[in-house]
Structure formats: C-alpha cells, structure tokens
A and B are shown apart, each in its own frame.
Chain A
C-alpha cells in the first residue's frame, strides 16, 4: 500500500496529466446518439451524470496521490429539472486546459491503455457537459484551482458542429484553493432515492472506496460517508496485453499503432511475457504450419517433414535457411521444380523482421494461432490493485454496522488465457445489511463493482448475479436468501473488464471469473454458516437461562416451606447454579456484544429432546 500521508504531495504534475488526451470528433454524433454515452432513461441519465463526474474526481485525486474528498449535491429546480454539483479536492485543471477538458469530447489515453481504471460510461465529464447543454441549453460552470494561487471560474459550452469548447464567461481570481467544482443543470431527468439513483451510487462508491470521504446532499437530506482508511490506493500499473488473451483484430490494432520497426520487436515491446526466445519459438511454430500448408500439394509428406527437420526455423535468416534445407532434401530432383518450390516458400514464409505496419489479417491470425501453441508465462498481475480484505471489511462495517462481515480478496488469475483479473467478495450479515423493503423488512442486496466503480444497472445477466444465484444457500443455513439481511459485495479488478454490452453495466460470464466469484462466495458462506449457528446457540442459551431464572423464586419459596431454610438463601444458591451452567455463554457474549435478535432467515435448528423416556 501507498505509505504516503494524508496530504500527499502531488504524484503527477497536473500539466502532464492532460497532455496525453487525444482528440476525437464526436460531439455531433453523440448529440444525436446520447444513449451511447449512457444517457438513457430519466433516472439512469442522472445517475450517469453523477458517475461520470465522481469517477473523474476520484481518478484525478488518486492519480495525484490525494485522499479524495468528494461532495455531491443534487438540487431539484423544477419538474424533471435538476442541478448537479460535484466538488473534489483533486489536483485541479490548469487554466489553459479547462476549455478542452470540459468543452470538447475527447477520448483520453485510457481507451488505449491496459490498465486497471474505473471505466468511463461514455466520454467522461465532457459528455455530461454535452448532455446538460442539449437538455437545458445552458453552459456548465467549472471552478478549478491547482493550488498555485489561481482559481478559474468558467461557463463552458460545446460547439457541437466543430466539437470545440466555447467559453461563455471566464474569470480568474487569486486563491490557494485546490480542487474542481462542476455545476451543471439537467432537464428530462428524474431523481429518486431508490435502488438505482445517485444516492445509492454514492453509497456503493463509499463501500468500494473507503479512502474517500463522500458527502451527499439532496433536497430532503444530507449524509456523510466518512473516510475509513487514510491511504490512497497505489496507482495501478499498466500491464501489456498477454499474447494468449489476444484476438487477431487486437493484434492488428497493436501492430499498426506500434512504433517498432519489426514484428519481432513489436511483439516484445507491446506484449507481456514475449522474450526473444519466445519470438523465435513463435516464428518456428508459425512457419512449420506455413511450410506444411504450402507444400502439401507439391511434395510427399515425408519430404516435407525432412525439410522442416533440416531447416532452422528459429533462424533470423529464415528464408535462406529454408532454401538451403529444400536444396539438401530435394537434391537430384528436377531443378525447375526446386526453384518453383523455393519461390512459393519465399512468398509464404513469415519473416519476423517485417514491419508491423504491413501486418495483414491473415498473418495476425497465424500469429494468434501460434500464440496458443507456445507456452508463455502467465501475465504479470502486479498491476492489479485490489481494495484488500481488511479494507473492505472495515468499509462495510462502517457502512452497514453488520453482525458479521467477511471479505476475501482472491489471488490474481487469468481469463481468456491472457487477461489478468482478480475478484474481491464480501458478505455482511445483520445490522443495516441488505436492502430495506417497503414493509420495513430486509432483503438481500448485491453490490456489484468493476474496478471499484458501482454497477447499478442490468444486474440480470451479470456474472456476479449468476454466481450468487448458482450457490445453494440452503446448504449454508440461509434458507431464503431473497429475504435475508445480507449484503453481498463483489468487485472485479481487471485491466480489461469484459462487459456484456456497450452499456458497461454488466460483466460477461467468463468461466474463470464466474468460478472465482463462486469459490469466494462459498468460502465466506461457510464462515457465515458457523457464525449463524453460533449466534443461534447463544440465543437459545439466553432463552434457556431466562427460563431457568423464571422458575427460581417459586422453587426457592416452596423448598423453603419444605425444609425451613431461608428462601432468599436458597434463591441465591439456585441462581448461582444457573449462572455457572451458562458461564460459557457469558464469555461468548462479550465477543458478540452486538448480537441482536433477527428474523428467521436461517434454518431452525430443532431443540434437542432432552426428555429421556417420557
């Protein structure tokens, strides 16, 4: 973990952060197709706005090594008309970048980096600015300070035709304040405190980001989710794609945008776990296939094998070497035939020295096939930054005050052969766990996250939901999961989250991810089962103790009448006997002080029949 103190020095210069943005002409397209930005439905649109602004704030803070302090205020201005204000204490945006950051639809470096980051819904903050503008016609107000003494207060619009920022008003004044406030109005949206609204979004954000302090305010109430850990998570490292996780089109993209001069160096520099040895191995595998396919109509099987055997397919000068082998094997045969074969082979052989820019689909396909036959080391997982077992447990304890909580942060693993991921799963039981029903009871709540970002929509097809539903909860004494006071927390950490659709709200059912989640759920469920059994035992014991105590006074009085002994004395002795019978209970009780009576969501364990023979 990052050991930096709370007031961290800026890890990255704000100037350099914004240099990397690459411009994409998108404004016109997205004005007409706002659903691609996640602005679908009145409720979801507002949640998307909050998501974009908060994600942006958290990312900015973390990249700068700052413990995030986020304020979200939602004001109802009229019917389906709201103002959203999101404030952070992040590094701020330098004045000269403000117009482009907020007033131009950009695709940032994130789109091309293999790094664990909170996924953007659409195009980030500028998408929200555009959405505000097309529903209200008003500019978005940005105030930002980098802590260097200047604060910018600007009103920004996007010129949709040209996708360029339009500063309506701008004022610069002197202040040491650091941070950013985005203030924007939206129409045709709807705020609700319900399951899929901004409040829930922020509550979940607090659960997965306990290093952030989050203040939330709407028209009726305000709430502060306090910071639970005083450490900024370490910044995830970029992990180069692993060969086994690639599809031909991925490889083509990488090759065509690579600065390497040769395919061999491109593979080594752009992919992980590809060494010079591995490149030679790939060359051998690719070309073995090529030679076989090329010659199979022209030569008998045995001759082809001989040629392959005699060639050094790992050689840098592969074409020359193969030519030598052909001549050796076919010595004495018709010269014309030999020349033809060499000519055909020369055209077919894949030379790793070729330029990656000229790589074609078929070749990419041959390479990807070869990747599957070569054994690579598993991809590095050092770039994955989990929240961590302890931190999740702390966060959920703070948020839910549960009777039981346990988290598991699984070791990294790989799906589709080459994409690193890890899952973090937690179960909280009792207290404020679960979701409150309209009848005042509790029902199960599944908190889903991708790289710490809440997934509020499309729960149905999500791998997390499928994994949860696949568990036979009855085996763990949770008879009716649906109506249990349980919160299940699942966070998928990956350099590439396999969403089911462009909506980015559900994670696809990759077998490896599914299995990891299931495994973690079952492991925690076993502990929960023990807890519930213990809790139940304590309750039973308490009830028994009350029973005994109820009958003590009458028994003492009667025995006093029978024996003439003082009733009080008998009562005291009897009480002592009862107490000593439950001495074990009291030591347990100290450990579980918060134990409360709960509904019967867990199995009734029948009272053992102590009556011997009656």
Chain B
C-alpha cells in the first residue's frame, strides 16, 4: 500500500492545481470555471472487457457567472479549501463534521454556506470527480459501517490486530482504508455478506475455519469503505470474492454494485468494482432446492419495478442465467431472504447450504 505521505502529497498537488487554474481565470478577467465529469446515464457505459461501469468523456462546466452554478461554485471552493487544511494538518473528518465545520451564514444574508449535509455531500462528490481523488484521500471519511472477521492480521495507524481474535464481532471497517496493511492471512476467498445478523451466525458457526474464508459484511448496501476494502484485499491477496445476499432485487443490486460499480461513483469504478466476484445466493432455485416455499415473501410493487429495470442492466440483459433468475422471481412473485435458511435449522446455512454450493461451485457470474 502507498505511504500516506505520498498519497497526501499527490492530493495536495491536485487541489493546488485546481485553485491555481481558477485563480488564473479570475486574473484574466474571465468568469472562473471548473469541469466535472458528467455522472448521468447518458455518460456511462459498460466496459465489456473490464466488466465495469465506465464514465464517458462528457463533462459539465461549473461557471461562477451562471446563476444556477454560483452557489455550488462557492461551495466547491469552500470544501476544497477545507480539504487542503485537513490534509495539511493530518486530520480526517466525517461527512457530517465537514458540514458543521463549513456551515456559516453568508455576509449580509440569512443564507448559509450549506443548509444540510446533503448539500456538502453532493459538493464533495463533485469535487472528488473533478479532481479525480477519492474522498478518503481528501481526508473525509465515509461513514464507517461493516466489519471483517477471519484469519487475517491487519495493521492500521500503528496498531496490529488479528481479525480472528475479536470476540463475536469482527473488526469494524473504517471509512478510510487506504492505509490498512495486511500483515499475514490464511484464506482462500472472501465471503461478502449482506446481512450482519447472518454474519454473526456464520461467525458463531466458525464457517471461516471450515471453508477457509474471510467474512465481510456491509450491513445492507456495502458502504464505500467496505467496497474499497474488499477491492484492496481481493487485489493484493488475489482472493476471489463470493457474494451472499438476499434473493431479491435489492440483493441483486448489492451484488451488481460490488462487481461492476455504481452510476454515482462510476468515475471511481476502477477503484471500487470487483469484477471477479461471484454470486452464491440466494437464488430462486434455492426455494425449491432447499424447500423454502413456506418462508418466501411476496414481492412489492417497487420490487417488481426494480426487476424490470435490472433486466435492462447491460451485465444482466445478455446473461441468460441472470435473466432466468429475474424472470423466475417475476413469475413466482416472491423473494427469499438469507435468514430464511434458519427455517431448516440455525446451522443449516453453515453446515449444508454454503459448503454445498461453494464446494460445488454453484455460482452465478
């Protein structure tokens, strides 16, 4: 992993260049501007070769003298100046901290620099895209959520810890993971789990020993820290990633974001997407295979709508196995949660379901 100092130097350089270019425009009497890649469906393509979402080369220009941009322009500079300060002082702030740190009223006005952390968050995303720097490298942390458990020894900020010796929980993955180092490990793959209760079950059942894997959960949708962490581990340690989520449109989406990237962060796909992840479950076939008919749940209207949308995803629409899953779900009109497996018995998932599917290589890709 890169040394923090080098990372910081590079980030500072980009921020300084950003400021300098704007200043030069002002000096030459022009309305100051900056460009940012257009993050809209129209500018996003699916790269068949790398199997990730990619941002096109369309960009929009923020101009100070465009009434629709002026406020955001000011906000962008405020955030950039703050990030420069955080980096220089070696401090890292949370998203909400950033908001409170920068919020104040404009001179002679009741208007505030930022009205909520959604505003500052969106400006941060823009800046990240415009500078092509991860927000973590701007010293703004994503909200920490998710954890890792398994035979791996990590170090961060001078501390070294064994992730198999952290009691019943795991190590809580922080928002900023760029400076995490792997001291040693003993694992064949990473199991990315949607539900933290399922994670807890699998820890109790000691599945990591049985299957020789690392357990990672994002507690729902995988946050950026978790995605980046999985990406780093899978790349550095050359470990495959196996995804275990609910058998519903949302689970499919979590898998798809982990594997291909998201529209909002398409500019960062290369840093986040894990193209070699595979899908182990839940599938629609599991329902009949494992006799789970009684523990399905009915699809809601939003779910049905979501199915239609996912059928159009570039990576699903030409993939017969996935199309079959989506069509099956639509036909059955039901979804199946990971924890429904507990209907058989609490250890069913660890004793039978996962070993059978993983050892049998019964994956969707």
Chain A complexes with chain B: yes
Contacts of A611 in B (CB 8 A): 66, 68-69
Closest chain-A Cβ to B19's Cβ sits at a distance in Å of 3
Binds B, one of A273-281, A435-443, A449-457, A573-581: A573-581
- For the complex, is A135 an interface residue (Cβ under 8 Å from B)? no
Known contacts A554-B106, A563-B19; is-contact A577 B29 (Cβ 8 Å): yes
Closest chain-B Cβ to A573's Cβ sits at a distance in Å of 5
Specify which of B18, B38, B108 is in contact with A613 (CB 8 Å cutoff).
B38
- For the complex, is A193 an interface residue (Cβ under 8 Å from B)? no
Closest chain-A Cβ to B122's Cβ sits at a distance in Å of 11
Contacts of A547 in B (CB 8 A): 67, 70
Contacts of A382 in B (CB 8 A): none
- For the complex, is A558 an interface residue (Cβ under 8 Å from B)? yes
Binds A, one of B74-82, B161-169, B210-218: B74-82
Known contacts A559-B77, A562-B81; is-contact A613 B29 (Cβ 8 Å): no
For chain B, give the interface size range: 35 or more
**In the complex, per-residue mask of A449-492: 1 if CB is within 8 Å of any chain B CB, else 0:** 00000000000000000000000000000000000000000000
B19 touches A578 (CB 8 A): no
**In the complex, per-residue mask of B249-282: 1 if CB is within 8 Å of any chain A CB, else 0:** 0000000000000000000000000000000000
A613 touches B26 (CB 8 A): no
**In the complex, per-residue mask of B106-133: 1 if CB is within 8 Å of any chain A CB, else 0:** 1111010100000000000000000000
**In the complex, per-residue mask of B273-311: 1 if CB is within 8 Å of any chain A CB, else 0:** 000000000000000000000000000000000000000
Number of A positions contacting B (CB below 8 A):
30
B77 touches A610 (CB 8 A): no
Closest to A614 in B: B60
Specify which of B66, B68, B84 is in contact with A562 (CB 8 Å cutoff).
B84
Contacts of B42 in A (CB 8 A): 613
Contacts of A558 in B (CB 8 A): 74, 77-78, 80-81
A577 touches B67 (CB 8 A): no
Contacts of B111 in A (CB 8 A): 550
B64 touches A574 (CB 8 A): yes
Specify which of A554, A557, A570 is in contact with B23 (CB 8 Å cutoff).
A570
- For the complex, is A248 an interface residue (Cβ under 8 Å from B)? no
- For the complex, is B362 an interface residue (Cβ under 8 Å from A)? no
CA distance A609 to B29 in the complex (A): 25
- For the complex, is A249 an interface residue (Cβ under 8 Å from B)? no
Specify which of B66, B74, B84 is in contact with A561 (CB 8 Å cutoff).
B84
Contacts of B77 in A (CB 8 A): 554-555, 558-559, 562
- For the complex, is B160 an interface residue (Cβ under 8 Å from A)? no
- Which residue, A547, A550, A557, A610, has most C-beta atoms of chain B within 10 A? A550
A614 touches B40 (CB 8 A): yes
CA distance A565 to B85 in the complex (A): 16
**In the complex, per-residue mask of B53-97: 1 if CB is within 8 Å of any chain A CB, else 0:** 000001011001111111101100110110011000000000000
Known contacts A558-B78, A561-B85, A613-B42; is-contact A550 B23 (Cβ 8 Å): no
CA distance A2 to B22 in the complex (A): 68
CA distance A565 to B25 in the complex (A): 14
**In the complex, per-residue mask of B7-49: 1 if CB is within 8 Å of any chain A CB, else 0:** 0000000011011101100110111100000101010000000
Closest chain-A Cβ to B272's Cβ sits at a distance in Å of 23
- For the complex, is A551 an interface residue (Cβ under 8 Å from B)? yes
The 3 closest A-B pairs by CB, nearest first: A562-B19, A558-B77, A561-B81
11 A/B residue pairs, CB under 8 Å, sorted by A:
A551-B64, A551-B73, A554-B74, A558-B78, A561-B84, A562-B81, A562-B84, A570-B23, A570-B26, A577-B64, A614-B40
